[in-house]
Amino acid sequence: MNRTTHPPDRWPAPVRNGAAATVPPLPTRTAPRRRRPTSQQWAAWAFLAPVTLYLALFYAYPLYRNVDLSLRDYTVRSFVQGNAPFTGLENYHKVFDDPTFGPALTHTIVFTAMCLVFQYAIGLAMAVFFHQHFRLSATLRALFLVPWLLPLIVSASTWLWMLNSDSGVINAGLHAVGADPVNWLTSPSWSLTSVIIANIWIGVPFNLVVLYSGLQTIPANLYEAAALDGASAWRRFWSITFPLLRPVSAITLLLGLVYTLKVFDIIWIMTKGGPADSSTTFATWSYRLGFGNLLPAFGPGAAVGNLLVVAALIFGLVYLRVQRKQALS
């Protein structure tokens, strides 16, 4: 990635006072690196050509089309005829003035923050627990991956039925302990909580696996030394595990942030953002504007989507920065 042309290997210059005798010679490479020949550059780009073309056609161009969509007044008819009038930032104004904007912003922030906090906390607790040696530990840890591997439509429809007001198993459980049933998906005050619960369930395995791999890099002798000093398990967690896990935690949380910002399937399948926008986020709002109505509003839909792209890219760049810093250190 950051290969620079190396200066030709040199032997250390002879030192007058004879100290050089103790200085080992610079390591010589068996095959001195030369500037790659031009033919090899050509070969490399021949191998990269398909992916480069692919990125341009299937990432850059759709993104460009999306920006273009957001700056024009598109209808289904103008889509086909290709004569949508250019309206500048009007779609963005429309979106900002829309009564859905405020709630969608709040829900996106609440959804992302709650999911991140709980997925991370539960994932970390599970990772620490399964890091211990006990029978079946590896097998059970593997089983924890199941929620993450299932298609989102499967998870979403299972939660949909589990949270059903009349026949759902969650309300049956609440009834068994004497609590009142909750209208999880049909009441505006609970719908956001419901989709957050489902999404936390889906996200825990990812946090578990990544944090577990981080735990494995912490040297065991640190714990042995602390145990000899009489540190309690809680103390060892706060003084060793948590601080040493910080780089991995940062990566996990930032990646989780980028992933959670764009969560769409779960919310759409479970509540469609409703009732009455009570679980609408930017992702579901964008989809509803573009595809959820009989009369699609592609322009405003694309505008909302582009706001989401900007947010994802900002956090994405932060993620890359953190990761690069860690790779250097």
Partner 1 sequence: MNPGTGRTWWKTAIGLLLTAIMLFPVYWMLNVSFTRDQHMRKSPPDWFPVHGTLDGYRTVLNQQLPYLATSLVIGLGTVVLTVALAAPAGYALAKLRPRGGGLLSFLLLVAQMIPGIIMAMGFYAIYLQLGLLQSVPGLIVADSTLAVPFAVLIFTAFMSGIPGELLQAAQVDGAGTLRSFRSVVLPMSRNALVTVSLFAFLWSWSDFVFASTLANGGAHEPITLGIYHYIGNNNQQWNAIMATAVVASLPATVILVLAQRYIAAGVTAGAVKD
Q: Which of residues 160-179 bind partner 1 (CB under 8 A)?
A: 160-162, 166-167, 169, 172, 175-176
- By CB under 8 A, tell whether 118 contacts partner 1: no
Smallest distance from partner 1 to CB 249, Å: 11
Smallest distance from partner 1 to CB 139, Å: 9
Smallest distance from partner 1 to CB 224, Å: 13
- Site residues for partner 1, 299-318, by CB under 8 A, read 301-302, 305-306, 308-309, 312-313, 315-317
Count Cα atoms within 13 angstroms, Cβ side, for 206: 23
Distance CA 116, CA 29 (A): 48
By beta-carbon proximity to partner 1, the closer residue of 192 and 204 is: 204
Stretch that binds partner 1, among 61-69, 101-109, 186-194, 224-232 (CB under 8 A): 61-69
Figure out which of the listed residues 262, 275, 278, 322 binds partner 1, where binding follows CB under 8 A: 262
Distance CA 148, CA 127 (A): 15
Distance CA 121, CA 110 (A): 16
- By CB under 8 A, tell whether 252 contacts partner 1: yes
Rounded to 5°, the CA angle 58-63-66 comes to 125
- Site residues for partner 1, 200-239, by CB under 8 A, read 201, 204, 206, 209-210, 213-214
End-to-end alpha carbon distance in the chain: 16
Distance CA 137, CA 14 (A): 60
By beta-carbon proximity to partner 1, the closer residue of 13 and 136 is: 136
Figure out which of the listed residues 13, 21, 23, 31 binds partner 1, where binding follows CB under 8 A: 31
Q: Which two tokens stand for residue 111?
A: 């959804």
DSSP letter at 202? H
By beta-carbon proximity to partner 1, the closer residue of 171 and 190 is: 171
| Amino acid letter for position 61 | Y
Q: What share of the chain is helix, strand, coil (3-state, %, to 5)?
A: 65, 0, 30
